[in-house]
Amino acid sequence: MNGLLRGAVRLWPVPVVLLLWELLTRGIEMLSFPPPSQIATSMYTMWLTGPAERLWLTDAALTNIPVSVGRLLSGWVLAGVVGIVLGVALGRSPLLFRFIDPLVQFARAIPPPMLLAFFMALFSIGPRMQISFIAFGIVWPVLINASEGARQVDRQHLDTARVFGLSGGERLFRIILPSAMPKIFAGLRVSLSLALILMVLSELVGSTDGIGFQLLDAQRSYDFSGVWGTIVVLGVLGYVFNSAFLAAERRVLSWHRSAKQTT
Amino acid sequence: MLEITNLSHTYGNGPTAHNALGGIDLKVAQGELVCIVGPSGCGKSTLLRSIAGLLRPSGGQVTLNGAQVEQTPDNLAVVFQDYSRSLFPWMSVVDNVSLPLRRKGMDKRQRGQAAMEALEEVGLDGAAAKYPWQLSGGMQQRVSIARALAYRPALLLMDEPFGSVDAQTREDLEDLTLRVRNLHNMTIVLITHDIDESVYVGDRVVVLSKAPAGIVGDLRVDLPGPRDQITTREHPDFVHLRAEVGRLVRGMRSPSPSAS
């Protein structure tokens, strides 16, 4: 209870800023800067005026938001798997690193928006194009971190594993991957926030549903409070994903944080 | 059981080459505890890594129970000096101890049981579920020793095993080593730079010279047992032996006449 109270006290700037924003936007009366109350109303009509048996969710809420989140998470998982597998391989094999690293550096230097046309040509418009576009754009932080983490495994940990005759698989899953895990998690976190950006981007050009599509739709029909409403939803999604990720990281890497604090 | 013949090793080549081992011959009998002592940087660790199969020496050979050491032999365990980098911080104590036992073809239950027995022998059965970083340095080194014990190696190598703990813990760990060694009749090669320790723990003390390391002394320690931190260390033979080992170590360390 005490903690709840303290949390509430810490949030005091939120109502203050909202109030100022409300007064300011009402004062200047610009069409493209609607007051927050109007944004909230518009969000409500957009997503929460459906029938009661569907928890009041509208068709737009039930299609656009899950579709977008699905694309984001699929792209992120795909990037995570590819990034970890390729990154660990590059980190452990100097030969592979010499061959593949220039390619990696080349590919990651390309700004993802430039690649939209390429992915649209390759997969045509649809979820395949969106997911692969997201995955390609966000795989680099995971890949580079996994590669660094796998390369920097403590020499003596590896010596110990050799002396006690651990098999290749045991070394990979019990020594190398856990050692690299803190770095991999740092990469996954950066990728998750990038995934949100690329998800919107992919829906702005090649989509007929999703949050990004709804944003574009609202903009095209001069529904500015609708535009702001979608932006708010994107911000909330980003916040929720980051919090959930940090909670998962705390559980998985508890040994890492504690080991660092005590040594 | 361990036989080292004309072992030599040079790091690098050309003008920057460092000759670490210059032809070492050594035999260790079954059940013996041999301490290898020498000045720091003399190539003790190179010798240990060659015996463990972690390093391929430039010349000579190492045979363990008649088989030449090419890769890490499956009947050998090592206790490293730096326990914090040898135990895996993401595994509990009991998992650290039981991990190498998969190779021995034990099932999960047997591995757990063997690990608990080994932890009991080092007095840490109460800490099995903890993580290494929750334990003190001395306790972590006990876990390393338990891991080696559970593995039941034919030969146990110890690389400055008590170099990173305080004096009191050091004495405890020395006595622990003597106790488990008597219990299992293990063959142990212990590397140290501590002269007193080498005489107190060893059946034999082998003294290495400065790099390129060669053997400059091989003394048998005949102290009345069981050894005790106080009475053994005041025994005239102990005092005499440590002086002799000290002289051998130091003799090699003092500058050559031409340099002075």
The tokens for A19 are 């109030």
- Domain positions in chain B: 1-41+60-71, 74-184
Sorted by sequence, the CB contacts under 8 Å of residue A23 that are 6+ apart come out as: none
Provide the ipTM: 0.86
Residue A125 in any domain: the answer is: yes
Instruction: Please report, as a single letter, which amino acid is at residue A168.
Output: G
Res. A62: pLDDT tops 50? yes
CB contact under 8 A, A255 and B90: yes
Cβ atoms within 10 Å of A184's Cβ, excluding its own: 27
Residue B246 contacts residue B219 (beta carbons within 8 Å): no
What is the domain range of residue A101?
70-262
CATH code, domain with A120 = 1.10.3720.10
What letter does residue B102 receive in the DSSP assignment?
G
Nearest to B191 by CA among B48, B56, B36, B73: B36
The H or E element spanning position A123 is helix A112-123
Residue of A nearest to B102 (CA): A166
DSSP track, A52-79: GGGTT--HHHHHHHHHHHHHHHHHHHHH
Residue of A nearest to B130 (CA): A255
Measured distance between the N- and C-terminal CA atoms of chain A, rounded to whole angstroms = 35
CA distance to partner chain B, nearest, from residue A170 (Å): 9
Residue of A nearest to B74 (CA): A165
Residue A174 in any domain: the answer is: yes
Say how many domains are in chain A. Answer: 1
pLDDT band at A262 (very low <50, low <70, confident <90, very high): low
Strand partners, B204: B34, B220
Q: Does domain B74-184 have CATH number 3.20.10.10?
A: no
How many inter-chain contacts (A to B, CB under 8 Å) are there? 68
The tokens for B238 are 């102990």
Please list every residue in chain B whose beta carbon sits closer than 8 Å to the beta carbon of residue A163: 52-54, 72, 76-78
The H or E element spanning position B158 is strand B155-159
Residue A167 in any domain: the answer is: yes
Please list every residue in chain B whose beta carbon sits closer than 8 Å to the beta carbon of residue A255: 89-90, 131, 133
Q: How far apart are CA B18 and CA B37, in angstroms?
A: 20
Residue A179 in any domain: the answer is: yes
Return the pLDDT at A261: 67
pLDDT band at A163 (very low <50, low <70, confident <90, very high): very high
Return the pLDDT at A257: 81
E strands within chain A?
none
Return the pLDDT at B129: 93
Question: Among B50, B74, B88, which would you mutate to test the A interface (most chain A Cβ atoms within 10 Å of its Cβ)?
Answer: B88
Residues of B within an 8 Å Cβ radius of A: 52-54, 72, 74, 76-78, 80, 82, 84-86, 88-91, 99-100, 102-103, 131-134, 147, 151
Q: How far apart are CA A243 and CA A189, in angstroms?
A: 10
Res. A98: pLDDT tops 90? yes
Q: B129-142: string of b/e by CB count within 10 Å (b at 16+)?
A: eebbbbbeebbbbb
Q: How far apart are CA B159 and CA B50, in angstroms?
A: 12
* Torsion on CA atoms B76, B81, B82, B86, rounded to nearest 10: 10
Nearest to B149 by CA among B203, B69, B79: B79
Nearest to B216 by CA among B205, B201, B228, B200: B205
Question: Among A164, A171, A251, which would you mutate to test the B interface (most chain B Cβ atoms within 10 Å of its Cβ)?
Answer: A164
Residue A31 in any domain: the answer is: no
Q: State percent of chain B over pLDDT 70.
A: 97
Q: CA of A221: how far to CAs of A35, A201, A214, A215, A225, in Å? A: 18, 19, 11, 10, 11
B155-159 vs B187-192, strand pairing mode: parallel
The tokens for A229 are 């409403």
Q: How far apart are CA A262 and CA A260, in angstroms?
A: 6
Nearest to A164 by CA among B89, B192, B96: B96
Residue A46 in any domain: the answer is: no
Residue A34 in any domain: the answer is: no
Return the pLDDT at B254: 42
Q: Phi, psi (5° rounding) for residue B18?
A: -120, 120
One digit per residue, the tens of pLDDT, for chain B of length 260 reads: 899 988 889 888 888 888 888 888 999 999 999 999 988 777 888 899 999 999 898 888 899 988 888 888 888 999 998 888 899 999 999 999 999 998 888 889 999 999 999 999 889 989 999 999 999 999 999 999 999 999 989 999 999 998 888 888 899 999 999 998 888 888 999 999 899 999 999 999 999 888 788 888 888 988 887 888 888 888 888 888 988 888 888 874 444 444 33
Residue A24 in any domain: the answer is: no
Q: How far apart are CA A174 and CA A187, in angstroms?
A: 20
Q: State percent of chain A over pLDDT 70.
A: 98
Return the pLDDT at B255: 42
Strand order across the B67-68 sheet: B18-28, B2-11, B59-64, B67-68
Average pLDDT, chain A: 90
The tokens for A234 are 């994107």
Res. A263: pLDDT tops 60? no
CB contact under 8 A, B89 and A170: no
CA distance to partner chain B, nearest, from residue A186 (Å): 17
Q: How far apart are CA B167 and CA B173, in angstroms?
A: 10
